Structure 1
């Protein structure tokens, strides 16, 4: 049986305990010195006045009795004084214990305040706002060195992310030129007036199919790079219901070819963002549901709004899937095993683009395997009001 994990103590708690212990030890030392000084031995001497006559025996006995009585009273007073001093010391020690904890927590909070500010700012910075910096002001101490080190790391990360996105976009653009050249060469070779061998025509058809696949892949890379970059200047109100309707109408032929049953529940739900990217996101979700579906299957699409969020849910039937593999589908070029029915013409970027577009608009993508079989795709976006 595993032992329950004890909650970890924070740095502020450790500093509070340390400072409180130091303050308390100082108070204990001060009270101890005061008590020792106050309760130290005192000696009194009494000299007989000059010229006095020696006491007679009876007078001497009376004086000794009087001295003994005075000494007893003095001892009783000293004991009472010691008890009062001890009680006062205990009360002062209890008060100092509380004061030490309060002062220790206050001092620890002041010491850790710059670190809390650094932590909060670092948590707020993500891949979409790597341009932000901590910019901690203050003396050149260990805290400022830490903040400057983090700022340098963010600057290097920003440069790396920008270089990666720039490379994907540039490579995709540059590759379109040779693709267009190859497609034109095929059209010229097949379109010659002389009779073209049948094998050449068949080969040209297969090459056109592969070129179309590469073209879709490059287009997907461009959309993915743009979504991950997050630079959207064409923000506008977008109706998710209308986008779903357009996507279903565009794939009516594929739905009819597989005899799929489509059930929809499309509410009047709006979000705000790039119309191009959001339309591509909805197209990919619907396209994924049609492509990875068996003949005679079904698709259920729902668009709802609740608590300031817009929700697009697309469910499909099929075999029971592994949730661990399903969770990886949002990564580029990830597919399920061979048991899942698919046409094989996908680029492997469909759901990755969906996740990137949703994240760029402040939402997220949730993929889950249905217990009865099939896949559930849920996209959450911030809701917006309908345009006037």
Structure 2
């Protein structure tokens, strides 16, 4: 329910209650006036009797019969009574309609004024993102229920911002701390494998350890990128997205050839305001994922255009539609081909969505008709 519908309903309630109260008032007024006006027959009889006693006999002039006189006078009084009540009803109805229209108008204005703080709260909530929790309502006014609601909302945002910042600092610090022991471990394994007297079992174990270490380093690097993009952009610069895609495709050409995957591009000039390093990582993740989760003899199609800014389609195993949303969650893989896969850390699409969100855009994915995945990235113009 939006603010306009609530305002309309409040206005309808104001107008309806006022109209109901006006109808009750008109009915009460009608009944009071009706009971106050004298009965025509009784007044006519009393008046004719008094006239006969006072004027008819004393003057000695002939008068109409008493019954005819009573009927004539009673008819005149009845017409007067009916005319008075009709005038009262018509006038009251006109006044009620005019006043009800004014009540609806003033009710609309008062409802809008009363709901304005709620509109401010809604607007602030819509502008909030995980990386942009710096906006506050700061509602001015008397300490009423709406002021209390706005202050409570601001306090909740303060706690959320503190929690998000703490989480991001922890991820970034932990990732930095883990890079050093991983680098030392890799160096020690490489030194041990470089020994010419190393046994074959040691070389086999060292190869396995290097592979595991490499995967851990990729995961740590992905966590660092994810933490950086979640913090938002400190500065923006014009970036040619088509040139970034062209460079990434050239850098991954050897991997695509080794996997037996053909990469095709259609690149239109497109300028995006953002971080060139994060945008390059976004494109790299999409292209590498499209190559990795593919089949020999498959294809990858990368397109840069207006809207969406970037689209990457690839062939490959069938992805269930209900599993697509989970692909953007960290450390999530879908299908037997991805479960237990050590080629990637499971952060590729999570980084894509985080980087896109940091640039004010949105990333979405749809399963291909014959397998594979179509990922679209929408970015605002520069």
- Provide the rounded CA distance (Å) in 2 between the counterparts of 1:272 and 1:129: 17
Q: CA deviation at 1:276?
A: 0.5
- Provide the rounded CA distance (Å) in 2 between the counterparts of 1:156 and 1:343: 38
Report what 2:376 is aligned to: 378
Q: CA deviation at 1:162?
A: 0.5
- Provide the rounded CA distance (Å) in 2 between the counterparts of 1:161 and 1:76: 82
**TM-score in terms of structure 2 length:** 0.87
Q: CA deviation at 1:352?
A: 0.9
Deviations 1:102-140 (A, max 9, x none): 333333222222222222222222223211111001111
Q: Does the 8 Å contact 1:20/1:103 carry over to 2?
A: no
**TM-score in terms of structure 1 length:** 0.86
Change over 3 Å in CA distance of 1:315–1:342 after alignment to 2: farther
Q: Does the 8 Å contact 2:3/2:119 carry over to 1?
A: no
Report what 1:209 is aligned to: 211
Q: CA deviation at 1:342?
A: 10
Report what 2:286 is aligned to: 285
Deviations 1:138-184 (A, max 9, x none): 11110011011111111111011101101100000111121122223
- Provide the rounded CA distance (Å) in 2 between the counterparts of 1:176 and 1:364: 30
- Provide the rounded CA distance (Å) in 2 between the counterparts of 1:116 and 1:246: 46
Change over 3 Å in CA distance of 1:330–1:24 after alignment to 2: same
Residue 383 of structure 1 aligns to a residue whose secondary structure is coil
Report what 1:199 is aligned to: 201
- Provide the rounded CA distance (Å) in 2 between the counterparts of 1:341 and 1:332: 14
Report what 1:80 is aligned to: 83
- Provide the rounded CA distance (Å) in 2 between the counterparts of 1:345 and 1:155: 40
Change over 3 Å in CA distance of 1:159–1:341 after alignment to 2: closer
- Provide the rounded CA distance (Å) in 2 between the counterparts of 1:341 and 1:71: 102
Q: Does the 8 Å contact 2:366/2:374 carry over to 1?
A: yes
Change over 3 Å in CA distance of 1:89–1:181 after alignment to 2: same
Report what 2:37 is aligned to: 41
Report what 1:4 is aligned to: none
- Provide the rounded CA distance (Å) in 1 between the counterparts of 2:96 and 2:276: 70
Q: Please show how residues 114-133 of structure 1 align to structure 2 within 5 Å.
A: 114-133=117-136
Q: CA deviation at 1:48?
A: 7.0
> Which is further off, 184-193 or 289-298?
184-193
- Provide the rounded CA distance (Å) in 2 between the counterparts of 1:342 and 1:75: 100
Q: Which residue of 115, 133, 143 maps to 2:146? A: 143
- Provide the rounded CA distance (Å) in 1 between the counterparts of 2:50 and 2:14: 57
Change over 3 Å in CA distance of 1:52–1:161 after alignment to 2: closer
Q: Does the 8 Å contact 2:215/2:342 carry over to 1?
A: no
Q: Cα RMSD (Å) of the superposition?
A: 3.0
- Provide the rounded CA distance (Å) in 2 between the counterparts of 1:356 and 1:368: 18
Q: CA deviation at 1:268?
A: 1.6
- Provide the rounded CA distance (Å) in 1 between the counterparts of 2:184 and 2:317: 43
Query: Which runs of 5 or more residues in structure 1 are unaligned?
Result: 1-6
Report what 1:3 is aligned to: none
- Provide the rounded CA distance (Å) in 2 between the counterparts of 1:363 and 1:241: 17
Residue 353 of structure 1 aligns to a residue whose secondary structure is helix
Residue 382 of structure 1 aligns to a residue whose secondary structure is coil
**Aligned pairs, number:** 372
Q: Which residue of 4, 10, 18 maps to 2:13? A: 18
Looking at secondary structure, tell me which structure has more helix per residue: 2
Residue 231 of structure 1 aligns to a residue whose secondary structure is coil
- Provide the rounded CA distance (Å) in 1 between the counterparts of 2:6 and 2:144: 19
Q: Does the 8 Å contact 2:233/2:275 carry over to 1?
A: no
Is 2:299 aligned against 1:298?
Answer: yes
Q: CA deviation at 1:341?
A: 10
Q: Does the 8 Å contact 1:292/1:341 carry over to 2?
A: no
Q: CA deviation at 1:99?
A: 3.5
- Provide the rounded CA distance (Å) in 2 between the counterparts of 1:166 and 1:201: 38
Change over 3 Å in CA distance of 1:59–1:248 after alignment to 2: same
Change over 3 Å in CA distance of 1:383–1:342 after alignment to 2: farther
Deviations 1:234-292 (A, max 9, x none): x2222222212211221222222223222211112221211110011111111111111
Change over 3 Å in CA distance of 1:299–1:342 after alignment to 2: farther
Residue 263 of structure 1 aligns to a residue whose secondary structure is strand
Report what 1:361 is aligned to: 359
Q: Please show how residues 1-388 of structure 1 align to structure 2 within 5 Å.
A: 10-39=5-34, 40-42=36-38, 55=57, 59=61, 61-62=63-64, 64=66, 69-192=72-195, 195-233=197-235, 235-305=236-306, 309=307, 311-339=309-337, 344-384=342-382
